[in-house]
Structure 1
């Protein structure tokens, strides 16, 4: 719980009553490896703050291939924010790559924060902006780099994930086959 509060306080000031109110609106959720936090075709139920574990956001392209477009690990928010706010059907999956523990907010509880804490909308907007910015920073260099450089960049940006995430997900994220990833890994050892 303290990690969540520390994270939120980076984006604005809260008094002790507001902090206690936030704490009262969270629910601890445990997900097993391969469980979905959010699924395509369904309305996202939660916004979560990851305490332990790794999630991946993925979708299926028009060829039916599974594409991982980013990972979310500890002390970050996880959600399909736009669809959660609009209570609309999601077009992507958020899946637990490892066993995960998180603090979750339902839409009702998230709205209660907005309606009760004066500065909450501004704080939430800053958190959302940081999450989007982080996702873009991780994703945009992948477009122009060769496969080896993309893998080395992945190692630099996600040093703690390489032994926690299946190679098939990493290959999908990098836009290469698992065989190509194996070759690259063998060549850089």
Structure 2
């Protein structure tokens, strides 16, 4: 829980009693590789904080191909927040790329914090902004050649290269696994 509290305190101040309330409102959760944090077609029911591991945002295009939109790793909130807030069905998946340890708030507990802790909404809004920014595809520009996209990926996500399956990286870059293998071989 220390990681979560340290993260929250970047965005505002809480006293000991408020911190204890945040801790008592959350549960520790594990996701195995390939399990879903939230799924398309369902209303998201929780907000998580990644203590350990990597989660990807993905969806299926109109051809039925799986597209990876983003990667979210340690010390970050993870949620399909727009649909969580609107209480509407999601159109994408949040799936564990690795085994993950999370700290999770149910909808009820997340909303209660706003009613009980003065200033929580301000802290929450700052955390959610970063969460939304990480989920918005700031990924590769498809007009760039595939090698340039991969080089930028390595620069932007150096810790993910050996942690995330190549199929997910290829999907994120908009190339086939075979193309990605060729690119990686040529770079070495």
Same fold, TM-score > 0.5, yes or no: yes
SS in 2 for 1:69: strand
1 CA distance for matches of 2:156 and 2:23? Answer: 31
Show the counterpart of 2:12: 12
Count of equivalent residues: 188
SS in 1 for 2:141: helix
Show the counterpart of 2:141: 142
**Long gaps (5+) in structure 1:** none
Q: Does 1:164 align with 2:177?
A: no
Show the counterpart of 1:26: 26
Point out 4+ residue stretches in structure 1 off by more than 4 angstroms: none
1:40-189 alignment, distance < 5 Å: 40-136=40-136, 138-139=138-139, 141-189=140-188
1 CA distance for matches of 2:90 and 2:135? Answer: 18
Per-residue CA shift, 1:119-161, capped at 9, x if unaligned?
A: 111111111112223344742x534432111111111111111
Q: Could you tell me whether the CA contact under 8 Å between 2:72 and 2:135 is conserved in 1? A: no
**Long gaps (5+) in structure 2:** none
The verdict on how the C-alpha distance between 1:80 and 1:136 changes in structure 2, with shifts beyond 3 A counting, is closer
The verdict on how the C-alpha distance between 1:171 and 1:137 changes in structure 2, with shifts beyond 3 A counting, is closer
Could you say which structure has the higher helix fraction? 1
Q: CA shift at 1:63, angstroms?
A: 0.5
2 CA distance for matches of 1:142 and 1:51? Answer: 30
Q: CA shift at 1:87, angstroms?
A: 1.5
Q: Could you tell me whether the CA contact under 8 Å between 2:70 and 2:136 is conserved in 1? A: no
1 CA distance for matches of 2:2 and 2:21? Answer: 13
- Cα RMSD over matched residues? 1.3
Per-residue CA shift, 1:141-184, capped at 9, x if unaligned?
A: 53443211111111111111111111110000001111111111
Q: Could you tell me whether the CA contact under 8 Å between 1:138 and 1:157 is conserved in 2? A: no
2 CA distance for matches of 1:3 and 1:143? Answer: 36
Calculate the TM-score normalised by the size of structure 2.
0.96
Calculate the TM-score normalised by the size of structure 1.
0.95
